[in-house]
Amino acid sequence: MNPALIDFADPRAPQAPRLRSAFGAPRQILAARSHDEVRPVLDAVEAAARAGLWCLGWLAYEAAPAFDAAMRVHAAQGDLAWFAVYDAPAPWPQDGAQEMAAARITWSAGLARSAFDAALEQIHAHIAAGRCYQVNFTAPMFGQLEGDARALFAALRRAQPGGYAAHIDAGDGRQVLSVSPELFFDWRAAPDGSGAILTRPMKGTAARGAGAAEDAARERQLRESPKERAENVMIVDLLRNDLSRIAQPGSVRVPRLLQTQALATVWQMTSDVQADTRAGTRLADVFAALFPCGSVTGAPKIEAMRIIHALEGGPRGVYCGALGLVQPDPQCGAGAVAATFNVPIRTLQLQGRRVRCDVGSGIVWDAQPQAEWREWAAKRAFAERASAPFELLETLALHDGRHRHLPQHLARLQRSAAHFGYPCDAQSLTDCLEGIARAHPTGLWRTRLLLDVQGRARAEAFALAATPVPVLLALAPRPFAFASSEFVRHKTTRREHYAAFAPEPDSGVFDTLLYNDDGEVTETTFGNVAALLDGRWITPPEGCGLLPGVGRAVLLREGRLREGVLRLADVPRVQEWAFVNSLRGWLPARLQR
C-alpha cells in the first residue's frame, strides 16, 4: 500500500496554510460492506477522533440507503465505507523524484453522444411531468494506467491545484485519487456534538476563456446566467433544508450566494450554507442529514436519485460520495473534532491498472445538449491534462542568426507556463535561444524551444527548406472534437488530436482544414488560416477553437487580417485561401475540391 496523502485547503480561511500530510501504516481499518454497517463505522471513526486519533477515508455514493432506505442506488462494487485510523500524520514527502515520474493513461471511448442526448431528453420529460427540478446525470470513462499511481496523483494536483486533494490506497489494487475542488461539509464539533457546520455546494460551470478578455467574459456570463444561477439556488435550498435536520432552530444561513471561483479549466459557481449543530449531534447524524450532497443528486433528492438509478447503468463508487478526514480539534478543547469532507468529483478510481473517471452535470429544464456536452468536456480536462507528460513548445524561424518574432513567442510561452503552472525563467529561455543562434549563424532554420514541468528549457534546430506555393489544403472529413481543448489554445508536445487529422504522406496535401462541432472553420493542424471572403481577408476568432498563432497576431495588428467567423456554408464563396504561421509566413493556398 502507498502511504496516504492529503492536501486540503482550510475551508474557513482559504489563505491559511494548507493541511498537507502523509500517513503511514494505519493502526486499524474500519470498513462497511453492508448498509447496516455504515453507521457503526462512522460512530467508530468519530470515537477514534475524539480519543485523539486521525481517520482518513470515504463513503461510496451507494452508502446512501444506510441513512434513508428510499434512496435508490445500484449494488455497490466494494466497500460502502472505508476509513484508515492513524496515530498522527507525518510530514509531506520531500522526495520529488516520484512526483516527476511519468504516468500515462490510455483512455477508451466514454458515453456516446447519442446516448447522452437520449438521457437528457428523458430528464426533460421527467421535469415536464413535475417529478423533479434538476437531475445530476453522470457517466464514466475508463482507461489503462502506465506508470506509478503516485506520479499520476502529482500530475492530477498540477492539473487541478487547490481544493481538497487526497490519495488513498485501500489495498488489493484499490486506490482513490481525488483532486476535488468541492467542499461537502466542514464540521467543528464540541464533545457534546454542538458546533458549526459549513457546506459549499458547487453548481454552475463555464469553460475558461482563451485569453484574459474572453476569460473575464465567460466568468461574467456564468455569474449572470439565469440557468446557472437557478441551478445553484435549487441546491442551496435543498441544503438549507437538509441542514435544518441537525441545526439549532434559526441558525441556518447563507452568508455567500452565487460566488464564482476560477479553477484550472473551468469557472465554477459556489454558495456557502452554514448552521450551528444541536447538542447530541453525531457524525452519523451529519451524514444522515446531508448525504449524498444535493449537488450530485438534483432536487428533490429522493426523486432525482430514482431517476439517476434508471438512467445510469451501474454504481458510482467513491465518485459523488464523500472523502475526507476526521481529526481531533484541540483548539476547541479535549474531545472536540473537526471533520472535513470533499464531494469526490474530479476523482479517479483505480483497480489495479484500470482507471475510472466520471463526469456529470446538473440538468435543468432549459439545459441544451450541446452546451452540456461541452461542459462535460471542460470538466474532463483535468484528467486529460494529467494523462501524459508534455512540454510547452514554441516553433520559431531562425534566419541568419536571428529569431523572427522572438518577443511574441517568448510572451506566448510565458502565458502558457502560467496557465499550466510550469515554472518559467525568462533568462533561461533567452540563453537557450541565443545558444542555438550562435550555433547556426547563417541560413534558414526551424527552432523548437521546449519547457518541461520542472521549468527546464531546451532548444533544437532543424534545416528549413522553402515551401512551394500555392499549398494544397484538404477539408477535414469530420468535425475536430478537440476545438475547445486547452491543448489547442496552448502549444505543447501533446499533439495526438492534430495527428489524427494529418494528411496522408505522398498525398500532395500540405495540411488539413479543421472545423468545430458547430460547423465553424478553425485552423489547420499546424497553422492558422486566412480566407478572402466578400472582398475582405478574415481569420477565425479564438472563440472558434484554435491556437492564436504569432504570425496571425502580427497580421491582425498590422490590419492585413480581420477576425470573422467562417462557416462551412461560406466555404464555396471563398475567393482565395492562405496558410499563416510565424515559421513560414503567408503561404497562398487552394482548397482541394
Helix/strand/coil (H, E, C) string of 219-231?
A: HHHHHHCHHHHHH
Q: SS3 sequence, 554-591?
A: HHHHHCCCEECCCEHHHHHHCCEEEEEECCCEEEEEEE
d(CA 476, CA 453): 33
**What is the residue type of 78?**
G
Query: What torsion do the CA atoms of 370, 375, 378, 384 make, to the nearest 10 degrees?
Result: -80
The label of the residue with cell 440557468 reads: 227
Query: What torsion do the CA atoms of 77, 166, 346, 300 make, to the nearest 10 degrees?
Result: 70
**What is the residue type of 158?**
R
Neighbours of 557 (CB within 10 A): 10
User: Which residue, 431, 437, 493, is CA-closest to 458?
Assistant: 431
Residue 355 in contact with residue 348, Cβ under 8 Å? Answer: yes
Domain boundaries, the chain: 4-386, 392-463, 471-591
The reply to whether 471-591 shares the fold of 4-386 is no
Using left for φ > 0, alpha for ψ between -120 and 50, and beta otherwise, residue 250 falls in left
The C-alpha cell that represents 230 in the structure block:
437557478
Q: Could you tell me the fold of the domain covering 471-591?
A: D-amino Acid Aminotransferase; Chain A, domain 2 (3.20.10)
**What is the residue type of 344?**
P
Element housing 427 (H / E): helix 426-439
Element housing 415 (H / E): helix 406-420
d(CA 129, CA 136): 17
pLDDT in tens, the chain (593 residues): 788 999 999 999 888 889 999 999 999 999 999 999 999 999 999 999 999 999 999 999 999 999 999 999 999 999 999 999 999 999 998 755 555 567 999 999 789 999 999 999 999 999 999 999 999 999 999 999 999 999 999 999 988 888 999 999 999 899 999 999 999 999 999 999 999 999 999 888 888 876 778 888 889 999 998 888 988 998 999 999 999 999 999 999 999 999 998 887 788 899 999 999 999 999 999 999 999 999 999 999 999 999 999 999 999 999 999 999 999 997 878 889 999 999 999 999 999 999 999 999 999 998 999 889 988 988 988 999 999 999 999 999 999 999 999 999 999 999 999 888 899 999 999 999 999 999 999 999 999 999 999 999 999 999 999 999 999 999 999 999 888 888 999 999 999 999 999 999 989 999 999 999 899 999 999 999 999 999 999 999 998 999 999 999 999 999 999 999 999 999 999 999 999 999 999 999 999 98
Q: Which residues touch 79 (CB under 8 Å, ≥6 apart)?
A: 31, 32, 33, 60, 170
Count Cβ atoms within 10 A of the Cβ of residue 558 and give its class: 0-12 exposed, 13-18 middle, 19 or more buried.
exposed
The model carries a pTM of 0.87
Please measure the distance between the N-terminal and C-terminal CA atoms of the chain and give it in whole angstroms.
59
Element housing 529 (H / E): strand 528-533
Residue 266 in contact with residue 206, Cβ under 8 Å? Answer: yes
The C-alpha cell that represents 544 in the structure block:
472558434
Q: Of residues 46, 182, 375, 520, which has the active-site annotation?
A: 182
Residue 378 in contact with residue 265, Cβ under 8 Å? Answer: yes
Phi, psi values for residue 432, rounded to 5°: -60, -50
- 174-180 and 347-351 as β-strands: parallel, antiparallel, unpaired? antiparallel
Residue 182 annotated to the active site: yes
Residue 96's pLDDT is: 58
d(CA 488, CA 483): 6
Q: Which CATH architecture has domain 392-463?
A: 2-Layer Sandwich (3.30)
Residue 457 DSSP SS3: strand
Q: Of residues 46, 62, 203, 520, which has the active-site annotation?
A: 203
Phi, psi values for residue 241, rounded to 5°: -65, -45
User: Which residue, 518, 545, 537, is CA-closest to 580?
Assistant: 537
- How big is the CA angle at 73 (ends 72 and 74), to the nearest 5 degrees? 140
Residue 379 annotated to the active site: no
d(CA 488, CA 523): 10
The label of the residue with cell 508534455 reads: 390
d(CA 442, CA 190): 75
Scanning 193-313, the segments in alpha helix (DSSP H) are 212-224, 226-243, 283-290, 301-311
Neighbours of 478 (CB within 10 A): 10
4-386: in CATH 3.60.120.10: yes
